[in-house]
Structure 1
């Protein structure tokens, strides 16, 4: 699979490293356009312009959203020749891309950081994309983790916010769980190690189980036991559900604000 990547920062770089490690692409088949060279896998071509000849299988747009107009002015003509255009630009919808890049129907993806280890989530929105384009994107994204397509733009927005911000919220939870251990009298390093391993093991167990996380929690909690007493605190007045709902809602609202800011003329 031949890739042209316009912009390859932290997230796009994480995806690229996983693609190469999984063998879905070879380094020599990747051409990256960046403002300056970055630390990318050996063999990947880095330049300031797209190749003047040839056509890739997929073009991946990974620049900052505020650079979109500049990128379109410089590269739209060459990008239009590609059969598939994939955008990772937060807050830029298919209509915004279509107006700048004539050619195939753009496919919008929202990955999260664990894609680098193949355990991420890639939300995809492209209701007008044809079957060939969908198949190409599925093949490219599969090594990154769970790939879920959303035709409904509202569902795509929420899924992107949930998966994109969720790791940071979970990191904060791990830190808070460790802090609770320290408050109870544990050594800080011990508490951090126990909290980290507990969360990692529980997540793997939940992912492998046929039971829901709610059912697993109830199975762990014996009536009148330690776990049930703690769950009572989290469950009282739906405290944990309410907190996370407000947390995600704040992230979604900020995403909408950022998208609106990008629609305004400069």
Structure 2
């Protein structure tokens, strides 16, 4: 799916996550004509006009791609340019739609998104939420980067972020642990990690191809009274993997709520 921007389009800031989205759009053959990156540093973004101040035009699309702590600094200068024709898209963690509406009262629609880094490979998961109408074009734009998860409630953004965005770090830790376990049992360190990574890639490809659930895949691998079943008994114990994951996700969601409270006080 080729990305189509409602133009004029402004990318205000282009940090790591916004940059990953740009990489994904570029990989998908997006046309960046009419797209402008606005960043104070003026550091160029390949293939996109990059300037240090807002151009003399009325944007139809504005994406906020800077650190949430910068919002109070950015909003006063940006708000006069955001009008009823503008869809404002924010990836600022913890900054609620209500806060954004206060800062940008004339925006036609306010949309919050929570992408993860594989959007750069067009394999991302992006949560999207809005209480407004008129952002179907934006949904299609985000969907060009992978899977989208439309939230019925704003609170779901934090949960999806914990599973998909922060979840990348948790999966990486598990793969690292799997590799270290192989090393402890005698494999060469670099070989152990490569095997662990390829096992993750292969499992994902198998699941996508067969549409099998994770439970089904585990059952297909595990022979009765075999080696896999013995390992699963450890992971499936009452104090095993699920309890650890539940605590991990709860900690991430809790911190997200704290950030939202901090952002509300700051702005």
Instruction: Give me the TM-score of the superposition, normalised by structure 2.
Output: 0.92
Does structure 1 retain, via aligned residues, the 8 Å contact 2:37–2:45? Answer: no
1:202-213 matches, within 5 Å, as 202-213=203-214
1:116-195 matches, within 5 Å, as 116-126=120-130, 128-130=131-133, 132-133=134-135, 135-195=136-196
Does structure 1 retain, via aligned residues, the 8 Å contact 2:221–2:228? Answer: yes
Partner in structure 2 of residue 97 of structure 1: 100
How far the C-alpha of 1:82 sits from its partner, in A, is 3.8
In structure 1, runs of 5+ residues without a counterpart are none
Is 1:20–2:26 an aligned residue pair? yes
How far the C-alpha of 1:143 sits from its partner, in A, is 1.8
Q: Distance in 2 between matches of 1:265 and 1:237?
A: 42
Bigger Cα displacement from structure 2, 65-74 vs 175-184: 65-74
Is 1:260–2:265 an aligned residue pair? no
How far the C-alpha of 1:205 sits from its partner, in A, is 1.1
Partner in structure 2 of residue 78 of structure 1: 81
1:236-265 Cα shifts (integer Å, max 9, x gaps)? 115110000101111111111111112224
Q: Distance in 1 between matches of 2:216 and 2:167?
A: 21
Instruction: Give me the TM-score of the superposition, normalised by structure 1.
Output: 0.93
The count of residues paired between Structure 1 and Structure 2 equals 260
Change (3 A) 1:16 1:117: same
Partner in structure 2 of residue 66 of structure 1: 69
SS in 1 for 2:236: helix
In structure 2, runs of 5+ residues without a counterpart are none
Partner in structure 1 of residue 11 of structure 2: 5
Q: Distance in 2 between matches of 1:31 and 1:200?
A: 35
Does structure 2 retain, via aligned residues, the 8 Å contact 1:59–1:82? Answer: no
Change (3 A) 1:39 1:224: farther
Partner in structure 2 of residue 220 of structure 1: 221
How far the C-alpha of 1:57 sits from its partner, in A, is 3.3
Q: Distance in 2 between matches of 1:230 and 1:10?
A: 38
Q: Distance in 2 between matches of 1:245 and 1:209?
A: 27
Does structure 2 retain, via aligned residues, the 8 Å contact 1:112–1:163? Answer: yes
Of Structure 1 and Structure 2, the greater helix share is in 1
Q: Distance in 1 between matches of 2:209 and 2:100?
A: 38
Q: Distance in 2 between matches of 1:112 and 1:265?
A: 25
Q: Distance in 1 between matches of 2:11 and 2:227?
A: 52
Q: Distance in 2 between matches of 1:14 and 1:38?
A: 16
